[in-house]
Homo-oligomer: A and B are copies of this chain.
Amino acid sequence: MTAILLSEVGLRDGLQSINRVMPLAAKQAWIAAEAAAGVREIEVGSFVPASLLPQMADTAALVAFAKGIPGLTVVALVPNARGAERAAAAGVDAISMPFSMSETHSLKNVRKDHAGVLVEIAATARIAADAGVHFAVGLATAFGCTYEGHVPEDRVVRLAEAARAAGAKEFSLSDTTGYADPAQVRRLVRRVHEGVGAALTTLHLHNTRGLGLANVVAGLEEGITTFDASLGGLGGCPFAPGASGNIVTEDLAFMLHAMGYDTGIDLDALLAVRAIIAAALPGEPLYGFTPDAGLPLGLRERLA
C-alpha cells in the first residue's frame, strides 16, 4: 500500500478565520485525540503577532504540548524570518511559510512583494538549518487569486525555482482561493515537478467550489504524497457563506482509506474528534459528508 500523509491544518488555517478564541485546553484535547487517531502531522498554529491574530497567541504553548506526543510531526506557519526564529525557539519540527504567487495577495497578506518574501525565505532557510528544523514553502494562490484572477503557470514555476535558489527545500502548492480544477492540478503539479523535482510534495486545497477531493485525485495521480486538510472543514470561507474552507479531514481520510492508501488513521477514532470541536465552539458550522453518512456497510470486506 502506498503511504499518504494527511497533515491536519485546522488549528491554524481553520481557527485563524474564527474570531472566538478556542480555549488552550480544547486545542490540546483536539491535538491529542487526532494524534491518537493516527494523524501523524499537525500544524498547530502560526507565529504571527498576537495583536493581529489573538487566536494564535498560544501557538508556543501548543508546540510544547504537541512535542510531548511521540511520533507526531509538529508544524507551525510563519509569515517571515522573525516568526521563524520564534518557531525554532519554541521547538517545532517544521516551519511552513507562505509565498503568494499573486503579488497583490502577498502585499495584503504579509506586506511584502515577491523580492521581499524571497529575502525572508533565505533568512528562514538559514534559521531552519541552524535549528535542525524542516522548512517548507507554500506556493499560495498558485491556482488563481481573488484580486488578480488568473495566475500564469510560468510564474509559479519561476518563483518556485527562485525560492529553491533562496534555500527552500520543500514545497506545497496551495489553492488558497478554491479556484483549482483537476486538469489544472495535474498540469501545474507536472510543471512544478519539472522545475523543482521531488521537492514538491504537498497539496493544500480548499473546497470553496466543491472540487477539493476531485483535486486530491488529480494530485495523487501526479505523485503528490501529502495533503493538508482541516477537521470539520473548520473555518468556512469568509467571502462565501456556506462554502467550506479547507478540504475536510474526515472525508479525505475516508476517500484515501477506501482507495486503498495507507494513512495510518483509524476512521472511527478520527470521526469522534469532531465532538471536541463542537463542544468547544458551539454553533460553529462543521462541514463534511462522511461524518453524517457514516462509513459504507461492507467497506472492510471490499478492501480485503
Q: Which residues of A contact B (CB under 8 A)?
A: 144-146, 148-151, 177-179, 181-184, 207-211, 213-214, 216-218, 221, 237, 239-244, 248, 251, 254-255, 258-260, 288-290, 292-294, 296-299, 301-302
- Most chain B CB within a 10 A radius of its CB, from A211, A218, A242: A211
**A177 neighbours in B (Cβ, 8 Å):** 296
- Ordered by A's residue number, 10 sampled pairs between the chains whose C-beta atoms are within 8 Å are A149-B298, A149-B301, A179-B296, A183-B259, A207-B289, A208-B289, A208-B293, A210-B213, A210-B251, A244-B289
Q: Does B150 contact A243, Cβ atoms closer than 8 Å?
A: no
Q: Taking CB as reference atom, which chain B residue is nearest A180? A: B258
Instruction: Out of B183, B214, B241, B254, name the residue touching A216 (CB < 8 Å).
Output: B214
Is the contact region of chain A dominated by helix, strand, or loop, or is it mixed? loop
Q: Tell me whether B302 and A260 are in contact (CB under 8 A).
A: no
The interface residues of chain B lying within 8 Å CB-to-CB of A145 are 297-298
Tell me if B292 and A243 are in contact (CB < 8 A). yes
Instruction: Give every chain B residue within 8 A of A239 (Cβ-Cβ).
Output: 293
B181:A259 contact, CB within 8 angstroms: yes
What residues of chain B lie closer than 8 Å to A149, measured between beta carbons?
A: 296-298, 301-302
Contact of A297 with B259 at beta-carbon distance under 8 Å, contacts A210-B251, A214-B217 already known: no
How far apart sit A257 and B210, CA to CA, in the bound complex (Å)? 14
Known A-B contacts A298-B144, A302-B150; the reply to A211 vs B255 at CB < 8 A is: yes
B residues in contact with A260, CB < 8 Å = 183
Q: Please, which residue of chain B has its CB at the minimum distance from the CB of A233?
A: B210
Taken together as a complex, chains A and B put the C-alpha atoms of A235 and B288 apart, in Å, by 18
